[in-house]
Structure 1
Amino acid sequence: MTDTVAKKPAAKKPAVKKAPAAATAPGSIVATGKIAQVIGAVVDVEFTGHLPAILNALNTQNVDQKTGEPFTLVLEVAQHLGENMVRTIAMDTTEGLTRGQPVIDTGSSIQTPVGPGVLGRIMNVVGQPIDEAGPIQTTQYRPIHREAPTFEEQTNSSEILVTGIKVIDLICPYTKGGKTGLFGGAGVGKTVTMQELINNIAKAYGGYSVLAGVGERTREGNDLYHEMIESNVNVDPTKNGGSTEGSKCALVYGQMNEPPGARARVALTGLAQAEYFRDEEGKDVLLFVDNIFRFTQAGSEMSALLGRIPSAVGYQPTLATEMGNLQERITSTKKGSITSIQAIYVPADDLTDP
């Protein structure tokens, strides 16, 4: 296991956050508003004219309360409240925001960088690099909210994905282009199994992988980053002139210290990057999600903040819709495939939990 004390933490916040240039959607009207109230991760914004669409990204300036450095805070529109007011969910800390502060509508949903430039890098939910290795070398961005491939575009496969882990390949083989869940309670080895899968598959197939770290421990994310470099899955930018060329895996982290908005969207950011490799480059991509339960948990927190009536066991009433939207996009098409392996934490080892 990598000694995380001796090495510089990989997932440290950048001193200055620069939001990726969110492309304005064709025909959209870019509006400017001002903050009306801040309630934790929820920010209400008042617009004088045109209201931004649901799921649009809004930008406002904030200051890191620890370092004093300015950064761009991204808000995602969740509800229209009437009287020219929209309710948004913040993708980062809201400490330091003030009423009356200007907010700009980007005209589109959150955009994440895509392409070979993201391989070997660690990004946050809005695609900003958090590995202190400089800006991401790409000019291409994709919205994190997209429609699933149509029925005509999809294809199926019965090919077996050889993982190199004997017990999996013998007893429970994985299907190439399918979805597999690693169920288990706390501390049983879901993340360790996933680390081994990434290592084996990257070496055996030489393909691209995307890891979405959703609401898990920052220490595990740091360990995984350094282990990927040690096993030559990724290239260390500090020893390669700042370049990560030759890397095989992109990492997108929204760990357990992040606000619920970031944890609820980081899986979509990783998926958007995997979709690019599938659709534009025709690759067979591996998408690892650790942990998909935290995606559900973050959605539950967001739902409570937005005042929705909870469903069974306190989960959000939109649980099935949100999970369905994510899982339907993870599929194989005629151009390429996404094979997804998702760790699933079982709360209190209760397999009857929704």
Structure 2
Amino acid sequence: MARDVNINNSTSIFGKVVAVQGSVVDIWFDSDLPSINTLIHTGPDNTIAIEVLSQLDDHRIRGIALTPTQGLARGMKAETDGGQLSVPVGKEIMGRMFDVFGNTIDHGEALPEMPRNSIHQLPPPLAKRSTKSEIFETGIKAIDVMVPLQHGGNAGLFGGAGVGKTVLLTEMIHNMVGYHQSLFCP
């Protein structure tokens, strides 16, 4: 539709919604088609976030809604600044819980202003990854001694109904949180 400059001196691109099928949304742009993984806001008060999944032709994109699409209809204005979905990075996020947009959801204190990275960045090169084999200590003696697990590896847990699979996993999670203060530790 049009280009406009917003308060932050970044250029916004406007389009309009042409189709809504559940959480799949098609949006028309007259020019400057957003690239794949771009975040688009639309709906009442720009509350619906859509991530571009594919470019259908020279004017239409197809995206997936990351928020409920209630109230979204054909003809509504859509806006993007070309940015991607990003999350905060740094030591301050250890042990915290976030939604898909990088907002804290654990009712803890607010995070300080910190750098954010796109969720679609490339993984670190192999040269920077750890290649050593480490034992993953679960805190459950029977597992650690008889069936040690490898850090970063996979394991299966088989059993019938009522034999304690969920209890075992819950105990492992409890031990990891108590030991590392977080399940997601470096």
TM-score by length of 1: 0.44
The unaligned stretches of length 5 or more in structure 1 are: 1-27, 63-69, 211-284, 286-336, 338-354
Q: Max radius of gyration: which structure?
A: 2
Give the Cα separation in 2 of the matches to 1:94 and 1:186.
40
Give the Cα separation in 2 of the matches to 1:71 and 1:30.
13
> Aligned match of 1:151 in 107, 111, 126?
126
Contact 1:35 1:46 in 2 (8 A): yes
Q: Deviations over 1:189-223 (max 9, x none)?
A: 5554343223223333x36433xxxxxxxxxxxxx
Aligned length: 178
Contact 1:59 1:106 in 2 (8 A): no
Are residues 29 and 192 of structure 1, via their aligned partners in 2, closer, same or farther at CA, if it must alter by over 3 Å?
farther
Q: Would you say 1:124 and 2:117 are equivalent positions?
A: no
Are residues 91 and 197 of structure 1, via their aligned partners in 2, closer, same or farther at CA, if it must alter by over 3 Å?
same
Q: Would you say 1:86 and 2:86 are equivalent positions?
A: no
What is the percent sequence identity of the aligned residues? 32
SS in 1 for 2:56: strand
Give the Cα separation in 2 of the matches to 1:195 and 1:208.
14
> Aligned match of 2:175 in 200, 212, 216?
200
Q: Would you say 1:55 and 2:29 are equivalent positions?
A: no
> Aligned match of 1:76 in 51, 64, 84?
51
Are residues 190 and 87 of structure 1, via their aligned partners in 2, closer, same or farther at CA, if it must alter by over 3 Å?
farther
Are residues 191 and 94 of structure 1, via their aligned partners in 2, closer, same or farther at CA, if it must alter by over 3 Å?
farther
- The residue number in structure 2 matching 1:5 is none
- The residue number in structure 1 matching 2:139 is 164
Letter in 1 for 2:27: V
TM-score by length of 2: 0.77
- The residue number in structure 2 matching 1:104 is 79
- The residue number in structure 2 matching 1:179 is 153
Give the Cα separation in 2 of the matches to 1:118 and 1:61.
31
Contact 2:95 2:181 in 1 (8 A): no
Contact 1:56 1:108 in 2 (8 A): yes
Give the Cα separation in 2 of the matches to 1:95 and 1:86.
20
Give the Cα separation in 2 of the matches to 1:187 and 1:72.
43
SS in 1 for 2:123: coil
Give the root-mean-square deviation of aligned CA atoms. Answer: 3.1
Q: Deviations over 1:129-161 (max 9, x none)?
A: 334557544422121112122222223112222
Are residues 136 and 181 of structure 1, via their aligned partners in 2, closer, same or farther at CA, if it must alter by over 3 Å?
farther
Higher relative contact order (CA 8 A, sep 6+): 1
Letter in 2 for 1:84: H
Q: CA deviation at 1:121?
A: 3.8
- The residue number in structure 2 matching 1:36 is 18
The unaligned stretches of length 5 or more in structure 2 are: 1-9
Give the Cα separation in 2 of the matches to 1:164 and 1:122.
23
